[in-house]
Structure 1
Amino acid sequence: MLPATAAALAVLAALLAWPVPALLGRARWPRRDPLAALVCWQAIGLAGGLSIIGALLVHGLAPWGHSLPEATWHVLTGEPATGEVRGDHWVTLTLAGALAAELLGVLALSWWRTARTRRRHRALLEVVVRPAAAVPDARLLDTPAPVAFCIPGARPLLVLSAGMVAELDDAQLAAVVAHERAHLREHHHLYLLPFVAWEAALPVLPAAARAHAAVRTLVEMRADDVALAAVPGPDPRRTLARAIVAAGASGGGGVPTGALAAGGGAVTARVRRLLGPAAPLPPAVRAAVLAAAGLLLAVPTALLLLPAVA
């Protein structure tokens, strides 16, 4: 009934678990269009989860129907199976339920822990920071280390250290602030959350750590691109690069867990990218990349919802 569909989903899951993330992680084009690359990473993660859980479900429910919706309906309404129900069907159904529960549970737990940590850090910071005179919507932290970060959430907080304000000139400070505002405006923390959960749920899978690192770098590159439009002066790229180097000099020290910092995420690669920019992706190539991401989601969805291949 459904063996061909289950096999197709299993092959797709295997491809999305290792070779596809490895190829995307080594590709050079993502730095030319971080936003398109972020869309691709999200599609890979979601399509991979759908494929592996779907393959298990389709095999397990095969005795009850010719498609996943039909078989699910028969099970829910208590109709008897039309084929022989073997032990492997029960095993795969159990595995599908356990894997789905683990992935969704770890995602929910990661969101809850991250939100709780951010609330705690925000509450502590609000006690010690004061309004930054140079930046109206920012707060000043009295520490000599050059630190700049934002804490996203319902009440976002943008923090600059006294050391950062003292070290940067006005244009560089504007660059750092624009970078942090880009994180908050585009909700970059939501791009990261699924990959934090993926790495926590499947720590033995190399692709999980690779994907998390790649997405973290891409959100920083995307924030750099958005910030460039707000950087004053004749050479905004060099100005932003100098600000990033200054922010990265602290090595991440003083940045709370769950925050997004201007000095985080592959500082050397970001500076090289700013000082030696590659040409942006041609519109046709960008459209093809986005179409491929859409196709990645469409294929497992179609396999799960359409009648099975005989």
Structure 2
Amino acid sequence: MLPATAVSLAVLAALLAWPVPALLARARWPRRDPLVALVCWQAIGLAGGLSMIGALLVHGLSPWGHSLPEALRSVLTAHPAADPVRGDHWAALTLAGVLASELLGVLVLSWVRTTRTRRRHRELLELVVEPSAELPDTRLLDHPAPVAFCIPGARPLLVLSSGMVAELDGDQLAAVVAHERAHLREHHHLLLLPFVAWEAALPVLPAAGRAHAAVRELVEMRADDVALGSLSGTAPRRTLARAIVAAAGGGEEVPRGALAVSGGATGARVVRLLEPPSPLPVPVRWAALASAGLLLLVPTGLLVLPAL
């Protein structure tokens, strides 16, 4: 059963490496529900990595057993292979180890580098920013450009520049702060990290860059939606849209590793705020979530079920 399992996992890996991400990146429905779309993207990334490594591992271990658990048990207990071990088996095992090490290593390295960069920026900013008297948990930076960003981490930092404060009114400033607090509260930096690592580990794969860009845009749209829920006034959507347009001029001043209200397809976000799309119907929303769950269960099932 292992050869068929390996082929099935390889086909699934190929689908998740290109056509499925391409279709989701071009689809219009994610803008109607960024949260559900983010769940789908996470499922694609996890299932794709599991399928790629699983297909190689299953093929490489096939001489040791009729199921992956059996083969692993035979190898770990030093039982001899039941079938001849060919060069392609060793090549598959080697490639599986290299790919797993690269994906996990790049993920850890990306986390370490990003954390170090954010800590350095935070330490530098804390020397020049001042607490805001009007906006709690917000720091003010003396800078003419309209800049607003947050640096996530164990000690998150939410920063507004003096240029931003001068350009926006009270409602617009509240919208910007609500947007940045949404990033911090929902830990959006953790949703982005796997796709940063995916793009770094597989730069030749077009889907990696496409997925990273799509997730970054969806994270900003999700923060917009969360911010709208906490805003008052007669036209909160227009208020937030004006704040985004104002912040777009200072996007180049945002530190690396920060999350900013000016990040991720500002034009599309402004259009979405001023002309809000209809929400996904509840059945469609649950169908998308179920599909994401099924996407994770399929490779897991292909690896485990043959042993039952």
**Interval of TM-score (by shorter of Structure 1 and Structure 2):** over 0.9
Could you report, residue by residue, the CA deviation over 1:170-227 in whole angstroms, capped at 9, with x for unpaired residues? 0000000000000000000000000000000000000000000000000000000000
- Which residue does the alignment assign to 1:218? 218
User: Contact 1:231 / 1:240 at 8 angstroms: preserved in 2?
Assistant: no
Residue 145 of structure 1 aligns to which amino acid in structure 2? Answer: A
Q: Distance in 2 between matches of 1:308 and 1:296?
A: 20
SS in structure 2 at match of 1:306: helix
- Which residue does the alignment assign to 2:123? 123
- Which residue does the alignment assign to 1:61? 61
Mapping of residues 252-267 of structure 1, within 5 Å: 252-267=251-266
Pairwise CA distance, 1:254: 1.6
Runs of 5+ unmatched residues, structure 1: none
User: Contact 1:2 / 1:308 at 8 angstroms: preserved in 2?
Assistant: no
- Which residue does the alignment assign to 2:4? 4
Q: Distance in 2 between matches of 1:211 and 1:151?
A: 22
Q: Distance in 2 between matches of 1:194 and 1:144?
A: 34
User: Contact 2:164 / 2:247 at 8 angstroms: preserved in 1?
Assistant: yes
- Which residue does the alignment assign to 1:31? 31
- Which residue does the alignment assign to 2:247? 247
RMSD in angstroms over aligned alpha carbons? 0.9
Q: Distance in 1 between matches of 2:132 and 2:267?
A: 29
Q: Distance in 1 between matches of 2:170 and 2:260?
A: 19
User: Contact 1:149 / 1:160 at 8 angstroms: preserved in 2?
Assistant: yes
Mapping of residues 62-211 of structure 1, within 5 Å: 62-211=62-211
TM-score, normalised to structure 2, is: 0.99
User: Contact 1:174 / 1:230 at 8 angstroms: preserved in 2?
Assistant: no
Q: Distance in 2 between matches of 1:103 and 1:211?
A: 16
Pairwise CA distance, 1:308: 6.7
Q: How many percent identity over aligned positions?
A: 79
Residue 91 of structure 2 aligns to which amino acid in structure 1? Answer: V
- Which residue does the alignment assign to 1:271? 270
Pairwise CA distance, 1:253: 1.9
Instruction: List structure 1 runs of 4+ shifted beyond 4 angstroms.
Output: none
Q: Distance in 1 between matches of 2:232 and 2:136?
A: 18
Q: Distance in 1 between matches of 2:253 and 2:117?
A: 15
Q: Distance in 2 between matches of 1:133 and 1:214?
A: 37
- Which residue does the alignment assign to 1:292? 291
Mapping of residues 11-22 of structure 1, within 5 Å: 11-22=11-22
SS in structure 2 at match of 1:118: helix
User: Contact 1:6 / 1:54 at 8 angstroms: preserved in 2?
Assistant: yes
SS in structure 2 at match of 1:263: coil
TM-score, normalised to structure 1, is: 0.98
- Which residue does the alignment assign to 2:232? 232
User: Contact 1:17 / 1:48 at 8 angstroms: preserved in 2?
Assistant: yes
User: Contact 2:39 / 2:289 at 8 angstroms: preserved in 1?
Assistant: yes
User: Contact 2:69 / 2:307 at 8 angstroms: preserved in 1?
Assistant: no
User: Contact 1:131 / 1:138 at 8 angstroms: preserved in 2?
Assistant: yes
Q: Distance in 1 between matches of 2:93 and 2:120?
A: 40
Pairwise CA distance, 1:42: 0.3
